[in-house]
Amino acid sequence: MKKFRRTLVASLLATGLLAAPVAALAQDIKPRLIRFGYGLVEASNQGRAVKFFAEQVEKASGGKMKVRAIGAAALGPDTQMQQALIGGAQEMMVGSTATLVGITKEMALWDTPFLFSNTREADAVLDGPIGQKVMDRLQPAGLVGLVYWENGFRNLTNSKRPVQKMEDFDGIKLRVMQNNVYLESFRTLGANAVPMPFSELFGALETKTVDGQENPFNTILSSKFFEVQKFLSVTNHVYSPWIVTVSKKWWDTLSKDEQKVLMDAAVASRDFERKDTREEAGRALAELRAKGMQINELPPAESARMRARLAQVNAGIAANVGQDLWNETQAALAALRK
């Protein structure tokens, strides 16, 4: 059928009965399909931002590029999607920078406990030269980083007790992301840290395979952790970025115009996602309390003890990501705090 259609178009062109531009329209213009995987549910800050990105791409490309948003880890956990992008079996994803450290060790910089004190610092460093430098380190591994989105400041939930002081971590079986800094950090605080993909977390909390986890308020809400977690302790122990990545194998087949469509949509989606996430986070604590969670804030003195204890992991991070990158980051933060 396609061959017949092409022959017909060619003969109509030859007779001048069909002008070239119209013929171009008559040709099969199959939209370029982009599979964009993510791990949270559709009704989450992550899902809303992927939907926004998809709308931006379709609009800017005049329908020539279509993004299929595939959520709830239907394409597998972050690490599996990362490999699918590297192999060219999937085009795009968004996930945690923390799960990328096995591919690009410099991503561990963003795991540093208490690195950012607020979102102003996070945006400035992530969207500036340091964030770009770390993102560029993905390319030799077969990934192209487009932008950072906001997962947010991470807080602790568990089913055993309120964590009011560092000693309360003792004996808590705590799920952490598959990342050595998180593992070492929570072991240093006295918890029994268990690395686990996000996609397995709700079930593990429900069956008490683990007692607790740590994530931003948004995720605690959208993943309904309040159904299986009684206690929420506000620690804000680390700012967690997400990163939108593209398969380099696929990216390199795109025209410059197509790459620009994706980059422009990614920047617009970053600004949308951060605004949406911050608005939701502002409401989330009240909503979680209304859902029955018992919420406590760590007293400043206890937060300071936690920060001092976690400083032990910083030397290892600096050695891992490179002392120059570490020093550059600390200098950038000092300048922002002047």
| Footprint of ligand KDG (CB under 6 A) | 39-40, 78, 95-96, 151, 177, 198, 215, 240, 242
The three-state secondary structure class of 50 is helix
Give whichever of 145 and 318 is closer to ligand KDG, judged by the CB atom: 145
Q: How far is the CB of 28 from ligand KDG (least distance, A)?
A: 35
Give whichever of 9 and 114 is closer to ligand KDG, judged by the CB atom: 114
* Among 58, 53, 3, residue whose Cα is nearest residue 28: 3
Give whichever of 95 and 145 is closer to ligand KDG, judged by the CB atom: 95
Give whichever of 78 and 168 is closer to ligand KDG, judged by the CB atom: 78
Q: How far is the CB of 81 from ligand KDG (least distance, A)?
A: 8
Q: What is the DSSP letter of 224?
A: T
The three-state secondary structure class of 244 is strand
Give whichever of 95 and 142 is closer to ligand KDG, judged by the CB atom: 95
DSSP states along 84-96 = HHHHTS--EEEEE
Q: How far is the CB of 96 from ligand KDG (least distance, A)?
A: 3
The three-state secondary structure class of 210 is coil
Point out which residues pair with 153 in neighbouring strands. Answer: 239
Q: How far is the CB of 216 from ligand KDG (least distance, A)?
A: 7
User: What is the β-pairing status of strands 32-37 and 192-195?
Assistant: unpaired
Angle at CA of residue 223, ends 218 and 224, nearest 5°: 100
Q: How far is the CB of 78 from ligand KDG (least distance, A)?
A: 5
Give whichever of 65 and 126 is closer to ligand KDG, judged by the CB atom: 126
Give whichever of 198 and 217 is closer to ligand KDG, judged by the CB atom: 198
Alpha-helical (H) ranges within the chain are 2-14, 20-26, 45-60, 78-87, 119-126, 129-136, 180-188, 201-206, 217-222, 248-251, 256-290, 300-310, 314-321, 323-336
Q: How far is the CB of 215 from ligand KDG (least distance, A)?
A: 5
d(CA 45, CA 160): 28
Q: How far is the CB of 39 from ligand KDG (least distance, A)?
A: 2
The answer to whether 149 and 155 are in contact (CB under 8 A) is no
Question: Which residue's C-beta sits nearest to ligand KDG?
Answer: 39
